Amino acid sequence: MSKLDGKVALVSGSGRGIGRAIALKLASEGARVVVNDLDKEPAEETVAAIKAMGSDAVACVGNVSAADFGDRFVGTAVDTFGTADIVVNNAGFTWDAVVQKMTDEQWQAIMDTHVTAPFRILRAFAEVLRANAKKEAEEGKEVFRKVVNISSIAGLYGNAGQINYSSAKAALVGMTRTMAKEWGRYKCNVNCVAFGYVKTRMTQELQKDGAATVKIEDKDLPVGIQPQMIKMMEAMIPLGRGATPEEAADAVYLFCSPESNYISGQVVLAGGGLIV
């Protein structure tokens, strides 16, 4: 019997990269998964991969920063699988600039995605959580549910050129600790994983012809890191290299497993030993 059999997990931003790896990891342990991505194709590819593993999944396509997304995301889980047990707030992107060059649009876009969206998702999840917890308490059962918020080493220590991203990721730490206190009585563990350098399309090596881009709705945003910066980061990591998406997913799984039933309100840095 797998450790997440019978559980329903919602993973935002799970069509690609770390989110996809998280969705596949949870599914490998028996969870049914609600997959989200901005675009239909990668979301459906992750759904197909989960079904090929023998588990089940459904796609909820769209921008997490949309006002109705939280209700729609949780509603997809309830309508498809009847409940929701695990929420991983993973979706995100970067849009960097030093403070004097950062626009209000850049600031707000990152705050909307990394702070407001998780808040709305958790607010929607609260209705399912409270109803289930009340019923289980009346039956004398103790059933644990899980929330994992994804932060960053930038949110813990700051990072030059990322005042928006660092501020948003720091806010998730406060959100985590607050919700751990609010939801303890509902047997919901709320924890946070802060990633260091993880090798994804967002952190790929810059090419000689310039930065690669990712499309966020109508904007093509540059992504990538200078090769010398990657070498410097990896030299600072005690384990000697950046993480794979699968290793990042393993850190999230720790907080979704039954072994974390008495751990809540915690922040773990998955950074290969790097402490800035």
Look at residue 174 and tell me if it is in a domain. Answer: yes
pLDDT at 190 over 80: yes
Question: Secondary structure of the chain: what % helix, strand, coil (to 5)?
Answer: 50, 20, 35
Q: What is the mean pLDDT of residues 183-207?
A: 89
User: Could you give the strand order of the β-sheet that contains 86-89, starting from the edge strand earlier in sequence?
Assistant: 57-59, 32-35, 8-11, 86-89, 145-152, 188-195, 267-270
Catalytic residues: 165
Helix H or strand E encompassing 93: none
Tell me the pLDDT band of 206, cut-offs 50, 70 and 90: low
CB 41 within 8 A of CB 34: no
Query: CB-hemisphere CA count at 13 Å for 80?
Result: 20
In the block, residue with structure tokens 């059933």: 143
Q: Reduce the DSSP state of residue 249 to 3 states and report it.
A: helix
In this structure, is the dihedral angle defined by the CA atoms of residues 22, 25, 29 and 33, taken in order, positive or negative?
positive
pLDDT at 228 over 90: no
Q: How many domains would you assign to the chain?
A: 1
Question: What's the confidence (pLDDT) of residue 207?
Answer: 63
Question: What's the confidence (pLDDT) of residue 221?
Answer: 75
Separation in Å, CA 149 to CA 6, 16, 221, 232? 22, 17, 24, 28
Look at residue 237 and tell me if it is in a domain. Answer: no
pLDDT digits (tens, 9 = 90+) for 5-19: 999 999 999 999 999
Look at residue 105 and tell me if it is in a domain. Answer: yes
Look at residue 228 and tell me if it is in a domain. Answer: no
Tell me the pLDDT band of 95, cut-offs 50, 70 and 90: very high
Q: Which residues pair with 33 in a beta bridge?
A: 9, 57
Look at residue 226 and tell me if it is in a domain. Answer: no
pLDDT digits (tens, 9 = 90+) for 143-181: 999 999 999 999 999 999 999 999 999 999 999 999 999
Which residue range is the domain that position 80 belongs to?
8-200+244-270
Phi then psi dihedrals of residue 77, to 5 deg: -60, -45
Look at residue 3 and tell me if it is in a domain. Answer: no
pLDDT at 268 over 70: yes
Look at residue 221 and tell me if it is in a domain. Answer: no
Look at residue 64 and tell me if it is in a domain. Answer: yes
What CATH number is given to the structural domain containing 256?
3.40.50.720
